C-alpha cells in the first residue's frame, strides 16, 4: 500500500513537473501534492529517508541563495552537538551558547550564529557559530555562513557563486540561480541573474523568473489564472496561481473542496485527500482520532507516532 501511494502521485505528476535544474517550482509543486496525498505512516517513512539524505546535502543559512536544484539554504536545523562558549550579547540578541527557540522563524541569535535544535526537545536550541569559510561542514551539526554553502565535493564551506560562476556542486549568491545551459540534466551549470518581468524566457528550459512564472508565451509574467493552459507542448508544467490539473484538463484549476475528487489534485487548505480510501477530500482529524491513515488538524494537533497513533495537542514553543 505504501509503495503504491508513493509511486502513484509521482507517475501522475511526471508530465507536468519540470526537471530539478529547470527551477524550484516543480519541486515545490511535487512536494505539496505528495504531502496532500500521503498518509501519516508514509510521511514518517519519507521523513526518516529525508533525514538520511540531508547528511549529504549542502549547508547554509536563510540567505536566499539558490543551489543547483533551485532550493535556498534555509532548512538546516540539525541535532545538537558541542555547545560553544558563551559570548557577550549584541543589541539584545542571544549570544553564542545561549538558549534559543529552534522552531522560531527568527531565533534572534547573534549575526554569526544560528539556532541548533536539540534531540530531546523540539523547541530547545543553542545559538551556535557558523562554520568559517574553508572549514569542514561534513558534520550533521555543521552549518556554513550566510554567504557560503557546503561544497558537495569537498565538504568545506565555500562562498556562494557570483554571476557566471560554476554552480554544479554549490549554490549561487542571492538574486542568482543555477542555470543549465543545455536545459537538460548534465549540462553546463552557471550562476545567472533571475529574469525580469516582461523579459523573454523558455518554459521548457531551466530559465527562472524573478517573479511569477515563465508563461507558455515565453515571457516572464504573473502565475496563471484558473482556466489557463498550464502544460507546454513538451509536457512541462507552468506555475498556476492555484494548481495545474495535469491528468485531465491540463488547465489551472481551483483547489478541491471537501467531498470532491482529489485524484492528482490538492484539496483546499482545510482538507486532505483520503488517498487510501475514497480518493475524496475530507476534513482533518480532531483530537483523539486515529491518525494512522489520515492527518490531524495541523493548526492545533499532531499525531502521536511514538505511542497511541492518535491526534494530540500540538506543542507550542514559547
Tens-place pLDDT, residues 196-249:
999 999 998 889 999 999 999 999 999 999 999 999 999 899 999 999 999 999
Distance in Å from the first CA to the final CA of the chain? 39
Report the pLDDT value the prediction gives residue 170, as an integer from 0 to 100: 73
The band of 250, judged by pLDDT with boundaries at 50, 70 and 90, is: very high
Higher pLDDT, 69 or 125: 125
Enclosing H/E stretch for 273: strand 271-273
Mean pLDDT value of segment 142-167: 91
pLDDT value at residue 17:
34
Residue 122 pLDDT exceeds 90: no
Phi and psi at 269, nearest 5°, equal -60, -30
Per-residue pLDDT, 286: 97
pLDDT of residue 244: 97
pLDDT of residue 39: 54
Q: Where are the domains of the chain?
A: 14-56+195-255
pLDDT band at 6 (very low <50, low <70, confident <90, very high): very low
Instruction: Give CA–CA dist 196/173, Å, rounded.
Output: 17
Indicate the average pLDDT of the chain: 77
Query: Per residue in 50-89, pLDDT tens?
Result: 333 333 333 333 344 555 455 544 333 333 332 333 344 4
pLDDT exceeds cutoff 70 at 141: yes
pLDDT at 91 over 60: yes
Quick check: 24 pLDDT over 80? Answer: no
- Residue 225 neighbours by CB under 8 Å, 6+ apart: 240, 241, 252
Angle in degrees, CA 57, 142, 70, rounded to 5: 30
Span 263-291, mean pLDDT?
96
Is residue 292 within 8 Å of 40, Cβ to Cβ? Answer: yes
| Band of residue 280 on the pLDDT scale cut at 50, 70, 90 | very high
**Cα 293 from Cα 32, distance rounded (Å):** 18
Q: Which pLDDT score is estimated for 241?
A: 97
With bands split at pLDDT 50, 70 and 90, how would you rate the model's confidence at 130? very high
**How far out from the chain centre does Cα 156 lie?**
23
pLDDT tens, position by position, 296-313: 999 999 999 999 999 999
Answer whether residue 119 shows pLDDT above 70.
yes
pLDDT score, position 90: 53
Q: How far apart are CA 285 and CA 224, in angstroms?
A: 32
Give the pLDDT of residue 258.
Answer: 97
Q: Average the pLDDT over 288-299 and give the result.
A: 95
The whole-number pLDDT of residue 189 equals 87
Residue 99 has a pLDDT of 94
C-alpha closest to that of 22 among 239, 300, 229: 239
Amino acid at each position: 500500500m505504501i509503495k503504491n501511494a508513493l509511486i502513484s502521485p509521482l507517475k501522475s505528476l511526471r508530465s507536468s513537473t519540470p526537471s530539478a535544474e529547470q527551477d524550484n517550482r516543480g519541486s515545490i509543486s511535487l512536494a505539496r501534492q505528495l504531502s496532500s496525498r500521503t498518509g501519516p505512516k508514509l510521511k514518517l517513512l519519507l521523513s526518516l529517508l529525508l533525514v538520511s539524505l540531508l547528511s549529504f546535502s549542502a549547508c547554509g543559512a536563510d540567505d536566499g541563495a539558490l543551489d543547483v536544484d533551485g532550493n535556498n539554504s534555509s532548512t538546516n536545523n540539525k541535532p545538537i552537538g558541542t555547545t560553544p562558549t558563551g559570548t557577550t550579547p549584541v543589541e539584545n540578541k542571544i549570544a553564542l551558547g545561549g538558549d534559543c527557540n529552534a522552531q522560531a522563524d527568527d531565533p534572534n541569535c547573534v549575526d554569526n550564529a544560528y539556532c541548533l535544535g536539540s534531540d530531546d526537545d523540539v523547541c530547545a536550541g543553542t545559538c551556535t557559530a557558523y562554520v568559517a569559510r574553508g572549514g569542514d561542514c561534513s558534520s550533521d551539526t555543521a552549518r556554513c555562513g550566510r554567504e557560503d554553502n557546503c561544497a558537495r565535493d569537498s565538504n568545506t564551506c565555500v562562498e556562494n557563486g557570483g554571476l557566471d560562476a560554476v554552480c554544479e556542486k554549490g549554490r549561487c549568491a542571492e538574486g542568482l540561480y543555477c542555470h543549465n545551459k543545455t536545459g537538460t540534466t548534465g549540462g553546463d551549470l552557471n550562476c545567472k541573474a533571475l529574469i525580469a518581468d516582461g523579459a523573454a524566457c523558455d518554459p521548457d528550459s531551466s530559465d527562472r523568473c524573478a517573479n511569477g512564472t515563465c508563461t507558455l508565451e515565453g515571457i516572464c509574467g504573473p502565475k496563471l489564472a484558473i482556466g489557463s493552459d498550464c502544460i507546454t507542448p513538451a509536457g512541462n508544467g507552468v506555475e498556476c496561481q492555484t494548481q495545474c490539473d495535469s491528468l485531465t484538463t491540463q488547465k489551472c484549476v481551483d483547489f478541491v473542496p471537501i467531498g470532491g475528487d482529489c485524484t492528482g489534485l490538492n484539496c483546499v487548505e482545510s482538507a486532505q485527500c483520503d488517498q487510501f480510501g475514497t480518493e475524496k477530500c475530507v476534513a482533518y482529524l480532531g483530537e483523539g482520532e486515529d491518525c494512522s491513515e489520515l492527518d490531524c488538524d495541523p493548526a492545533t494537533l499532531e499525531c502521536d507516532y511514538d505511542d497511541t497513533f492518535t491526534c494530540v495537542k500540538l506543542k507550542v514553543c514559547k
